[in-house]
Amino acid sequence: MTVIMQDLLIRAEAFDSVLFDLDNTLVEFIPAKKKACAAVIESIGCGDPDELFSYFLRRKYGFEDCANIFDYLSDNGVAGSATYLNACTTYEAVKLASIEPYPGIRDVVSSLSSGGVKLAVVTDADSDHAWERLGKAGLDGFFEAVITPDISGSRKPDPDSFLMALDSLRTKPIHALTIGDSIRRDIAPAQKLGMCTIHAAYGDWHPDETKEAALWTLSAEKPDHLHRLLLGEKSR
Protein backbone atom coordinates (compact mmCIF):
# COMPACT_ATOMS: atom_id res chain seq x y z
CA MET A 1 0.00 0.00 0.00
CA THR A 2 1.10 3.59 -0.46
CA VAL A 3 1.08 6.47 1.98
CA ILE A 4 -0.04 9.87 0.71
CA MET A 5 1.96 12.44 2.61
CA GLN A 6 0.36 15.87 2.88
CA ASP A 7 1.98 17.27 6.02
CA LEU A 8 4.94 15.00 6.73
CA LEU A 9 7.63 16.27 4.40
CA ILE A 10 10.89 14.98 3.04
CA ARG A 11 13.46 17.73 2.78
CA ALA A 12 15.85 17.58 -0.15
CA GLU A 13 18.79 18.18 2.22
CA ALA A 14 18.15 14.76 3.75
CA PHE A 15 19.56 13.29 0.54
CA ASP A 16 22.47 14.15 -1.72
CA SER A 17 20.96 12.48 -4.80
CA VAL A 18 17.61 11.88 -6.48
CA LEU A 19 16.93 9.27 -9.16
CA PHE A 20 13.98 9.97 -11.45
CA ASP A 21 12.15 7.67 -13.79
CA LEU A 22 11.49 9.42 -17.11
CA ASP A 23 8.22 8.42 -18.78
CA ASN A 24 5.07 9.18 -16.77
CA THR A 25 7.22 10.68 -14.01
CA LEU A 26 9.06 13.61 -15.58
CA VAL A 27 7.17 13.72 -18.87
CA GLU A 28 3.62 12.84 -19.93
CA PHE A 29 4.38 9.83 -22.09
CA ILE A 30 1.15 7.85 -22.43
CA PRO A 31 -0.82 10.84 -23.81
CA ALA A 32 1.98 11.43 -26.31
CA LYS A 33 1.96 7.79 -27.35
CA LYS A 34 -1.81 7.82 -27.83
CA LYS A 35 -1.57 10.96 -29.97
CA ALA A 36 1.06 9.21 -32.06
CA CYS A 37 -1.21 6.20 -32.53
CA ALA A 38 -4.03 8.51 -33.63
CA ALA A 39 -1.72 10.16 -36.15
CA VAL A 40 -0.79 6.77 -37.62
CA ILE A 41 -4.45 5.85 -38.05
CA GLU A 42 -5.11 9.17 -39.74
CA SER A 43 -2.15 8.66 -42.07
CA ILE A 44 -3.32 5.22 -43.26
CA GLY A 45 -6.95 6.29 -43.46
CA CYS A 46 -8.49 3.43 -41.48
CA GLY A 47 -8.45 1.69 -38.13
CA ASP A 48 -8.85 2.52 -34.45
CA PRO A 49 -6.20 4.42 -32.43
CA ASP A 50 -7.08 2.60 -29.21
CA GLU A 51 -6.70 -0.76 -30.93
CA LEU A 52 -3.29 0.23 -32.26
CA PHE A 53 -2.25 1.36 -28.79
CA SER A 54 -3.33 -2.02 -27.42
CA TYR A 55 -0.81 -3.72 -29.70
CA PHE A 56 2.00 -2.05 -27.76
CA LEU A 57 0.66 -3.63 -24.56
CA ARG A 58 0.92 -7.24 -25.74
CA ARG A 59 4.54 -7.76 -24.62
CA LYS A 60 5.23 -9.54 -27.90
CA TYR A 61 7.82 -6.87 -28.59
CA GLY A 62 9.04 -3.96 -26.54
CA PHE A 63 6.60 -1.24 -25.50
CA GLU A 64 8.25 1.15 -27.95
CA ASP A 65 8.98 -1.28 -30.78
CA CYS A 66 7.53 -0.25 -34.14
CA ALA A 67 7.08 -3.94 -34.94
CA ASN A 68 3.79 -3.50 -33.08
CA ILE A 69 2.70 -1.14 -35.85
CA PHE A 70 3.71 -3.71 -38.47
CA ASP A 71 1.53 -6.35 -36.81
CA TYR A 72 -1.40 -3.95 -36.60
CA LEU A 73 -1.15 -3.04 -40.27
CA SER A 74 -0.84 -6.70 -41.27
CA ASP A 75 -3.81 -7.75 -39.17
CA ASN A 76 -5.92 -5.02 -40.73
CA GLY A 77 -4.96 -5.81 -44.31
CA VAL A 78 -2.75 -2.77 -44.83
CA ALA A 79 0.24 -3.84 -46.89
CA GLY A 80 3.33 -2.21 -48.35
CA SER A 81 6.75 -1.31 -46.97
CA ALA A 82 6.30 2.36 -47.88
CA THR A 83 3.10 2.54 -45.84
CA TYR A 84 4.79 0.86 -42.89
CA LEU A 85 7.84 3.12 -43.00
CA ASN A 86 5.64 6.21 -43.26
CA ALA A 87 3.56 5.00 -40.31
CA CYS A 88 6.68 4.50 -38.20
CA THR A 89 8.05 7.92 -39.14
CA THR A 90 4.73 9.56 -38.32
CA TYR A 91 4.48 7.70 -35.04
CA GLU A 92 7.94 8.69 -33.82
CA ALA A 93 7.62 12.31 -34.95
CA VAL A 94 4.22 12.91 -33.35
CA LYS A 95 5.19 11.07 -30.17
CA LEU A 96 8.24 13.27 -29.63
CA ALA A 97 6.42 16.46 -30.62
CA SER A 98 3.71 15.66 -28.05
CA ILE A 99 6.09 15.10 -25.13
CA GLU A 100 5.61 17.66 -22.37
CA PRO A 101 6.92 17.83 -18.80
CA TYR A 102 4.33 17.50 -16.06
CA PRO A 103 3.28 20.89 -14.65
CA GLY A 104 5.82 22.09 -12.11
CA ILE A 105 8.37 19.36 -12.82
CA ARG A 106 10.89 21.72 -14.37
CA ASP A 107 10.76 23.88 -11.23
CA VAL A 108 11.28 20.84 -9.00
CA VAL A 109 14.27 19.61 -10.99
CA SER A 110 15.77 23.08 -11.28
CA SER A 111 15.40 23.77 -7.56
CA LEU A 112 16.98 20.46 -6.61
CA SER A 113 19.88 21.00 -9.01
CA SER A 114 20.53 24.57 -7.89
CA GLY A 115 20.44 23.35 -4.30
CA GLY A 116 23.33 20.99 -4.95
CA VAL A 117 21.35 17.76 -5.16
CA LYS A 118 22.82 15.35 -7.71
CA LEU A 119 20.27 14.08 -10.23
CA ALA A 120 20.04 11.05 -12.50
CA VAL A 121 17.44 9.46 -14.74
CA VAL A 122 16.87 5.70 -14.64
CA THR A 123 14.66 4.66 -17.55
CA ASP A 124 13.82 1.71 -19.78
CA ALA A 125 13.79 3.96 -22.85
CA ASP A 126 16.88 3.67 -25.02
CA SER A 127 19.49 6.42 -24.84
CA ASP A 128 18.47 8.23 -28.02
CA HIS A 129 14.80 8.38 -27.05
CA ALA A 130 15.60 9.36 -23.46
CA TRP A 131 17.77 12.30 -24.44
CA GLU A 132 15.30 13.41 -27.12
CA ARG A 133 12.48 13.49 -24.59
CA LEU A 134 14.53 15.29 -21.99
CA GLY A 135 15.50 17.85 -24.60
CA LYS A 136 11.93 18.31 -25.78
CA ALA A 137 10.83 18.84 -22.17
CA GLY A 138 13.65 21.29 -21.45
CA LEU A 139 15.14 19.01 -18.81
CA ASP A 140 18.31 17.80 -20.50
CA GLY A 141 20.66 20.17 -18.66
CA PHE A 142 19.93 19.02 -15.13
CA PHE A 143 21.04 15.38 -14.98
CA GLU A 144 24.54 14.10 -14.33
CA ALA A 145 23.63 10.64 -15.59
CA VAL A 146 20.93 9.08 -17.77
CA ILE A 147 21.00 5.32 -17.34
CA THR A 148 19.23 3.22 -19.97
CA PRO A 149 19.14 -0.50 -20.82
CA ASP A 150 21.65 -0.08 -23.66
CA ILE A 151 24.07 1.30 -21.06
CA SER A 152 23.39 -0.92 -18.03
CA GLY A 153 22.56 -4.10 -19.93
CA SER A 154 19.26 -4.72 -18.16
CA ARG A 155 15.76 -3.36 -17.69
CA LYS A 156 13.95 -2.49 -14.51
CA PRO A 157 13.11 -3.99 -12.07
CA ASP A 158 16.60 -5.51 -12.27
CA PRO A 159 18.84 -3.42 -10.00
CA ASP A 160 21.66 -2.84 -12.49
CA SER A 161 20.44 0.53 -13.79
CA PHE A 162 19.84 1.83 -10.26
CA LEU A 163 23.27 0.66 -9.11
CA MET A 164 24.92 2.27 -12.13
CA ALA A 165 23.12 5.54 -11.43
CA LEU A 166 24.24 5.50 -7.80
CA ASP A 167 27.79 4.80 -8.90
CA SER A 168 27.66 7.60 -11.47
CA LEU A 169 26.51 10.05 -8.79
CA ARG A 170 29.11 8.72 -6.34
CA THR A 171 26.55 8.09 -3.65
CA LYS A 172 25.06 5.26 -1.60
CA PRO A 173 21.45 4.04 -1.43
CA ILE A 174 20.91 5.46 2.06
CA HIS A 175 21.68 8.94 0.72
CA ALA A 176 19.50 8.64 -2.39
CA LEU A 177 15.81 8.97 -3.18
CA THR A 178 14.00 7.37 -6.12
CA ILE A 179 10.87 8.81 -7.75
CA GLY A 180 8.88 6.76 -10.27
CA ASP A 181 5.38 5.92 -11.44
CA SER A 182 5.68 2.12 -11.34
CA ILE A 183 5.49 0.26 -8.04
CA ARG A 184 6.95 -2.88 -9.61
CA ARG A 185 9.69 -1.37 -11.75
CA ASP A 186 10.68 1.74 -9.78
CA ILE A 187 9.60 1.68 -6.16
CA ALA A 188 10.11 -1.98 -5.18
CA PRO A 189 13.64 -2.38 -6.62
CA ALA A 190 14.78 0.96 -5.19
CA GLN A 191 13.53 -0.02 -1.74
CA LYS A 192 15.30 -3.38 -1.98
CA LEU A 193 18.54 -1.45 -2.47
CA GLY A 194 17.83 0.65 0.62
CA MET A 195 16.59 3.86 -0.97
CA CYS A 196 13.69 6.00 0.18
CA THR A 197 11.00 6.34 -2.50
CA ILE A 198 8.21 8.56 -3.75
CA HIS A 199 5.56 6.96 -5.93
CA ALA A 200 4.65 9.31 -8.79
CA ALA A 201 1.01 8.28 -8.55
CA TYR A 202 -0.01 11.07 -10.91
CA GLY A 203 1.60 9.14 -13.78
CA ASP A 204 0.79 5.57 -12.72
CA TRP A 205 -1.36 3.90 -15.36
CA HIS A 206 -1.21 0.45 -13.70
CA PRO A 207 -3.69 0.90 -10.81
CA ASP A 208 -4.10 -2.85 -10.27
CA GLU A 209 -0.35 -3.23 -9.82
CA THR A 210 -0.38 -0.47 -7.23
CA LYS A 211 -3.30 -1.92 -5.27
CA GLU A 212 -1.57 -5.28 -5.04
CA ALA A 213 1.71 -3.85 -3.79
CA ALA A 214 2.55 -4.90 -0.24
CA LEU A 215 4.92 -2.06 0.55
CA TRP A 216 4.94 1.42 2.02
CA THR A 217 6.07 4.44 0.09
CA LEU A 218 5.49 8.14 0.04
CA SER A 219 3.18 9.12 -2.78
CA ALA A 220 2.63 12.22 -4.91
CA GLU A 221 -0.94 12.22 -6.20
CA LYS A 222 -0.26 15.36 -8.24
CA PRO A 223 3.01 16.61 -9.76
CA ASP A 224 3.02 19.69 -7.52
CA HIS A 225 3.01 17.42 -4.45
CA LEU A 226 6.69 16.82 -5.22
CA HIS A 227 7.34 20.47 -4.41
CA ARG A 228 5.88 20.02 -0.95
CA LEU A 229 7.49 16.64 -0.31
CA LEU A 230 10.97 17.63 -1.51
CA LEU A 231 11.15 21.38 -1.10
CA GLY A 232 8.54 22.17 1.53
CA GLU A 233 6.71 24.57 -0.74
CA LYS A 234 3.96 24.73 -3.30
CA SER A 235 4.86 24.90 -6.98
CA ARG A 236 5.36 28.34 -8.40
**Same structural domain, 46 and 78:** yes
Provide the CB-side half-sphere exposure for 18 (13 A, CA): 29
Is 236 part of any domain?
Answer: no
122 and 23 in a single domain? The answer is yes
Instruction: Name every residue whose Cβ is closer than 8 Å to that of residue 92 and which is 6 or more positions away in sequence.
Output: 36, 66
Residues 118 and 178 reside in one and the same domain: yes
Per-residue confidence (pLDDT) for residue 164, from 0 to 100:
99
Do 18 and 87 fall into the same domain? no
Helix (H, G, I), strand (E, B) or coil at 201: helix
In which domain, by residue range, is 69 found? Answer: 30-97
For residues 33 and 185, is the Cβ–Cβ distance under 8 A?
Answer: no
In the chain, the number of structural domains is 2
Residues 208 and 133 in one domain: yes
111/209 same-domain check: yes
Per-block mean pLDDT, blocks of 10 residues, the chain (236 long): 44 82 98 98 96 95 94 95 97 98 97 96 97 98 98 97 99 97 96 97 82 80 92 65
State the pLDDT at residue 8.
43
pTM, full prediction = 0.91
Residue 106 CB coordination number (10 Å): 16
Contact (CB, 8 A) for 62 and 28: no
Indicate whether 92 and 159 sit together in one domain: no
pLDDT of residue 122: 99
